[in-house]
Amino acid sequence: MRKYLHDVIIAMESIMANKLKSVLTALGIIFGVASVISMLAIGNGAQQEILEQIKMVGVNNILVSPIVEDTGSSDDENGNGPQQRAKFSRGLTLLDAEAIQTTIPSVVSLSPEIALNSHAVYGGKRESAKLIGVSSDYFKLFNLPLESGTVFNEHQEENGLAVAVIGANIKSRFFPDINPIGQYIKFGHVWLQVIGVIERSNVSVSAFENVGINVYNDNIYVPVKTMLMRYQNRGILRGASGSGISARGGRGFMQMRAMISTNPGQNTSSNYHQLDKIVVQVSETEQLAPTAELIGRMLLRRHSEVKDFEVTVPELLLKQQQRTREIFNIVLGAIASISLIVGGIGIMNIMFASVMERIKEIGTRQAIGATRVDIIVQFLSEAVLISVSGGLIGVVLGIVLSHLITHFSDISTIVSLSSVLIAFLVSASVGVIFGYSPAKRAAEKDPIESLRYE
């Protein structure tokens, strides 16, 4: 070992004597390792984001949403306009939600959802907010822990009491210095008593609202019957509320219609659905697809064969997107890995040139007793030292680059220990693989011919 250590020291002296050439030789490895680490960091960040979004849409959830047709859309093949087609279906109602929960055995829990956009008022402060009518199961479906307070109880839900659970941003805007529990906040024309505050979520989900994710921090939640009785009940306008709500719900809607719109992009005049969503949770992931199909068939029968709803499985959609991102990241990683191969070829070329430049040195070492193994160890050590040092610099550069990507492009990146180890081990392997051939060639030089070489 002491003998080979002497060969490694000679290799290090040779590298230090040719600093510029060594740095230029290592550049391919440096940028290759940095590229691999940054690409894997982007991939890890995307995967983590998808996993967080899967948690946000809830595990094993199915989303039933209404199809709201524009009043100006074209007629169907029978010449019926949107309003004519819609009149044969009462739309998505509480009766549909109850039927799903009582009829399908795989359903564990369920929550209807109705959303309104308007303004919240407290202490003379008025800001835009979204009011969402849900059941108490909603917070379990979407894994929403409470920071303080409680969710709705059965009495509050059944009687449509004016109580609310607020998001973290609503609390910080209206109740920055006081405990909001027990306070009253006005939404539209109704004062709501705050009974709970949702724990803040730091996941950015605004681009995924189409698969059932809400920006929970900015919402106010009330019991679904509170929404129907005190704000709006579109089903009453068509004579099909399906919930046993009295006519005062209709008056409440007329009062609010001028000041509150439904979900963005929906036409209030053509939206005859009582509910904006029904969120259904099943017990096992394997039951998602068959349960979704069963819900679709049952609702189609209940809606007189009018397909005015859509059944989606957000978790499956996000997993498909995750798979697409994984393939894309594999491609990016493969492209980045090419830099390591190019860097290895560069090391091999430089080492071959180094052998030709140092033929006399090789002959002198052999003449004073150096064996072929000594020559191989010397030149192989040079290649490995260059690649390993380049790998270390590349690791630091890759970590810095990952942080810069997050800072300037708002793309989530996660540098994992495994990606660093993989990139470093590959860079060391490149030094061994591409450095062996020049080292072997140097060892095969005839010492007499090497000493005569000019």
pLDDT at site 214: 55
Distance from chain centroid for Cα 126: 33
Within 10 angstroms of residue 123's Cβ, the number of other Cβ atoms is 10
- For the residues 53-65, what does the mean pLDDT come to? 72
Lowest mean pLDDT among 1-5, 50-54, 209-213, 438-442: 209-213
Contacts of 290 (CB under 8 A, 6+ apart): 106
**Three-state DSSP class for 10?**
helix
Supply the pLDDT for residue 252: 44
Picking from 56-60, 110-114, 171-175, 434-438, which range would have the lowest pLDDT averaged per residue? 56-60
Residue 33 · residue 398 · CB < 8 Å: yes
| Per-residue confidence (pLDDT) for residue 150, from 0 to 100 | 93
Q: What is the mean pLDDT of residues 242-263?
A: 41
What pLDDT score does 8 carry? 73
Q: What is the mean pLDDT of residues 123-146?
A: 88
Helices H / strands E in the chain, number of each: 16, 10
Q: What percent of the chain has pLDDT over 70?
A: 75
* Mean pLDDT lowest among 51-55, 275-279, 285-289, 333-337: 51-55
pLDDT in tens, 363-402: 777 777 777 787 888 778 888 888 888 888 988 998 998 8
Question: Mean pLDDT across the stretch 43-53?
Answer: 70
DSSP-based three-state secondary structure for 45: helix
Work out the burial of residue 202: count CB atoms within 10 Å of its CB; fewer than 13 is exposed, 13-18 middle, 19 or more buried.
Answer: exposed
Residue 207: predicted pLDDT: 44
> pLDDT tens digit string along 303-362?
888 888 888 887 666 566 666 667 776 777 777 777 777 777 877 787 777 777 777 777
Q: What is the pLDDT of residues 286-317, one digit of tens each?
A: 888 889 899 999 998 888 888 888 888 876 66
Q: Which of 18-22, 64-68, 223-227, 305-309 has the lowest mean pLDDT?
A: 18-22
Residues 6+ apart with CB under 8 A from 67: 307, 308, 309, 310
pLDDT value for 32:
83
At a CB cut-off of 8 Å and minimum separation 6, what does 172 contact?
A: none
Per-residue pLDDT, 318: 59
Helix axes 372-409, 359-367, angle to 10 degrees: 130
pLDDT of residue 226: 92
What's residue 308's pLDDT? 85
Tens of pLDDT, residue by residue over 153-180, are: 999 999 999 999 999 889 999 998 899 9
Helix or strand run (H / E) with residue 450: helix 447-452
